[in-house]
Amino acid sequence: MGSATIQEVRAAIASGKATATAIAEEHYARIATEDGPSGKGINSFLALSRDRALEQAAKIDAMAAKGDALPPLAGVPVGIKDVLTMKGSPATAGSLILKGYMPPYDATAVTRMEAAGAVLLGKLNCDEFAMGSSNENSAYGPVHNPRALDRVPGGSSGGSAAAVAAGFAVASLGSDTGGSIRQPAAFCGVVGVLPTYGRVSRYGLIAFASSLDRVGPFATNVRDAATMLGVLAGQDAKDATSSDRPVGDYVGALAKPVKGLRIGVPAEYFGEGLDAEIRAAIERALDGLREAGCEVKTIALPHTKYAIPTYYVIATAEASANLSRFDGVRFGFRAGAGTQTLSEMYRETRDQGFGAEVKRRILLGTYVLSAGYYDAYYRKAQQVRTLLTRDFLAAFAEVDAIVAPITPTPPWKLGEKTADPLQMYLEDIYSVAASLAGICAMSVPCGETASGLPIGVQIMGRHFNEETMLRVGLAIETA
């Protein structure tokens, strides 16, 4: 398992103990032996960007040789979820419909990683168009959980979580629309951060649901996640939804003790359906926070049970609009070579190019937006979204951070839940409310089950107060 941290990699390069080139080669060697079917069959990488990575590593090595100051991610091997564009590498979004698409530009998150010295190893597997909670919806095969190979890594950023857990990358980028960073982080035993809506640019992110989609990091520990977030955060002229609020000093904030912080525990997140071992692990994390001087109190988020129905109306409605651009005209795959008309070509391309879950969500989203149903479903869900957000705004008037489970169960076995889409959606019960409300949230490892499966705990923070959330995360990690 990978144990190197960002700090260790940077220190080793700065002191001349290692080169960025050698570190990149080591990671590629581990991927070559373990990721494929002849190794552990984890299947986390969809494409490797070897030339680009080694060119960047040589640049870092030249800087180190000259004794130049090294940027914050100097020589750090990073993997990129395949919903972000990276020039020179294919972008599939886990879908057949984008097979062969070579995007002519870098996502802003990718540009920022590289400008900070990161060595980008390649593109990581995910659920098709980031739609899924198990990574079993990828057209390129499921990802296996490095901590238990017969189990799912979570989704949709399953490859991003697995690559970090397996030591294929020191950190990675993912995207989170309804839990797609936090849930796989918990399932694979790594740290995952959902930044506040607007904190990180989405330019170059293949859109699923634009009022919910966010880009964020995976890392092996909270400090590394804070370092990654510091590089990613900030306004971008190419994304009008990115915020002009000043970016915090996320790593610096970690030095402040958590003593005196008020921690809210929402009763609604500890009801029926929560696994007993996860409940116990979170109780232990809360005890640790009490010992560190936090005031832990029960709070109410009364509309929590409506988060899943609200989410699946809004996310699918937006997806049905966003995914209309995949029609065989501008990028990727086109079917129906013999078709006579444009509309036949559209339909054949989309029928062959999209998998079952994507079609299901497009249909649901088209239905809830169609004439006669718009007010009953879409407008109603938008109103409930207001109520869910008000719940959080009221809670954050009383507490500085909220601690809750992120998944109701530990990772399940591959194939166990694929037959029933509604059951799979219900797994998102603890993750989607934060997505709808636009607040920041993260998942931090907090122990494991008796059978050795990782358990994560969710920390939710106020809009644009990543600092406090990260401090609580560090306190749980080090307790």
Partner 1 sequence: MADVAGVTMDEVQRVAELANLDLTAEEVPRMQRDLNAILGHIAQLNELDTTGVPAMAQVGEMLGAAVESTGASLRADAKRPSLDRAAVMASAPESDSRFFKVPKVIER
Task: Tell me if 385 contacts partner 1 by CB under 8 A.
Answer: yes
> At closest approach, how far in Å is the CB of 253 from partner 1?
21
> At closest approach, how far in Å is the CB of 318 from partner 1?
10
Task: Tell me if 417 contacts partner 1 by CB under 8 A.
Answer: no
Which among 89, 156, 160, 431 is annotated as catalytic? 156
Q: Which long-range contacts (CB under 8 A, 24 or more apart) does 229-233 make?
A: 229/193, 229/195, 229/200, 229/466, 229/470, 230/72, 231/72, 231/73, 231/112, 231/113, 231/116, 231/118, 232/109, 232/112, 232/113, 232/173, 232/195, 232/199, 232/200, 232/201, 233/195, 233/199, 233/200, 233/466
Rank residues 290 and 305 by Cβ distance to partner 1 and give the closer one: 305
Interface with partner 1: number of residues (CB under 8 A): 79
* Tokens, residue 366: 């088209």
Mention every residue, 6+ apart, whose C-beta is less than 8 A from residue 120: 49, 52, 53, 56, 78, 79, 80, 86, 110, 113, 114
> At closest approach, how far in Å is the CB of 81 from partner 1?
20
- Indicate which single residue of 383, 394, 415, 452 sits in contact with partner 1 (rule: CB under 8 A): 383
8 Å CB contact between 344 and 336: yes
Residue 370 annotated as catalytic: no
Task: Tell me if 310 contacts partner 1 by CB under 8 A.
Answer: yes
Give, as one character, the DSSP assignment of residue 68.
P
Residue 156 annotated as catalytic: yes
> At closest approach, how far in Å is the CB of 201 from partner 1?
12
> At closest approach, how far in Å is the CB of 144 from partner 1?
26
Binding mask 214-253 for partner 1 (x = CB under 8 A): ---------------------x-x--xxxxx---------
- Using CB under 8 A as the binding rule, the residues of this chain from 73 to 132 that contact partner 1 are 101-105
Task: Tell me if 69 contacts partner 1 by CB under 8 A.
Answer: no
Q: Is 88 helix (H, G, I), strand (E, B) or coil?
A: coil
- Indicate which single residue of 57, 107, 308, 460 sits in contact with partner 1 (rule: CB under 8 A): 308
- Indicate which single residue of 149, 343, 394, 398 sits in contact with partner 1 (rule: CB under 8 A): 343
Mention every residue, 6+ apart, whose C-beta is less than 8 A from residue 326: 95, 97, 98, 332, 349, 350, 353, 354
Which among 44, 89, 134, 180 is annotated as catalytic? 180
> Scanning the structure block, which residue is given the tokens 């006669």?
372
> At closest approach, how far in Å is the CB of 438 from partner 1?
3
Q: Measure the CA–CA gap between 288 and 19, rounded to whole angstroms.
A: 39
Residue 201 annotated as catalytic: no
Q: What are phi and psi of 42, to 5 degrees?
A: -70, -35
- Indicate which single residue of 330, 397, 450, 451 sits in contact with partner 1 (rule: CB under 8 A): 330
- Using CB under 8 A as the binding rule, the residues of this chain from 356 to 375 that contact partner 1 are 356, 359-360, 362-364, 366-367, 370, 372-373
Which among 49, 81, 133, 443 is annotated as catalytic? 81
CA angle in degrees (0–180, nearest 5) for 161-167-169: 70
- Indicate which single residue of 169, 381, 399, 404 sits in contact with partner 1 (rule: CB under 8 A): 381
Active site residues: 81, 156, 180
